[in-house]
Copies of this chain bind each other. A is one copy, B any other.
Amino acid sequence: MQDGNRSDHRHREDWLPQSVRDAGVQRVLDTGDFLFRADTRTAGLFEVVEGRIKLVRIAPSGRETILYAASAGDILAEASIFSPTYHCDAVAATHSVVRLYPKEPLFAAFRENPMAAQAFTGMLAREIMRLRTRLELRNIRSARDRLHAYLLLRREDDSSSVILREPLIQVAAEIGLAHETVYRTLAAMEADGEIVRRGTRIILT
């Protein structure tokens, strides 16, 4: 199981106050187990520790639509804490471990410590930014341009190289390309001198 660590930068340590972290409850799920069902009372927000949780909405026809597939490190059901009930089902797509941060301790912490509330809000705002960026990336049709833009975005600071911490196959999924296409496109880019690959590092030129 991969750990989808594209979310490294927002591990709970950064924005969850100690008191809330302590109140976290771990839970183990087998493939197919429900973490919660639509229309049931909300418990709080979840962090995926391991595995993969799918949020799905089932149409009357039985057809299921995936709203979000969360991997290790991802936060789940942020919006639910402001709602009395869930609006979709959450199912384990594989054997998974999640951690529940119950609503009450969370709100209590925010009430008592405005900085904690602000940290949480800031985390949400940054997540929005990242999501919009990923979405915008998908508007680039050409595989090559898309990949290039992705690499540019990933070269944090002003270095001209990107270090991939996750396998290319995962990068492919994230940017919405078949992994074969990613391998091929990278090869083409290298052949054209657009990039240089050195193991897990890719240098933009």
Question: Which residues of chain A have a CB within 8 Å of any CB of chain B?
Answer: 57, 59-61, 63, 65-69, 78-79, 81-82, 111, 114, 117-118, 120-122, 124-129, 131-136, 138-139, 148-149, 152-153, 158, 160, 176, 204
- The answer, among B82, B127, B153, for a CB contact under 8 Å with A65, is B153
Q: How far is the CB of A196 from chain B (nearest CB, A)?
A: 15
Number of identical monomers bound together in the oligomeric complex = 2
Residue pair B136, A138 in contact (C-beta under 8 Å): no
Q: Which residue of B lies closest to A148 (CB)?
A: B63
B132 touches A67 (CB 8 A): yes
Q: How far is the CB of A174 from chain B (nearest CB, A)?
A: 10
A117-B117, A176-B138 are contacts. A129–B79 as well, Cβ < 8 Å? yes
Are A135 and B136 also in contact (CB < 8 A) when A65-B149, A124-B125 are?
A: no
Shortest A61–chain B CB gap in Å is 8
Known contacts A57-B153, A152-B63; is-contact A133 B79 (Cβ 8 Å): no
Further 10 A-B residue pairs, CB within 8 A, beyond A81-B125, A134-B135: A63-B152, A66-B136, A78-B129, A82-B121, A111-B114, A124-B124, A127-B128, A131-B131, A138-B138, A139-B176
Residues of B within 8 A of A128 (CB): 78-79, 124, 127-128, 131
Contacts of A82 in B (CB 8 A): 118, 121-122, 125-126
Cα A63 to Cα B145 with chains together (Å): 11
Pick the residue among B133, B136, B152 that contacts A59 (CB under 8 A). Answer: B152
Closest B residue to A111 by beta carbon equals B114
In the assembled complex, the CB of A137 is this many whole angstroms from the nearest CB of chain B, namely 8
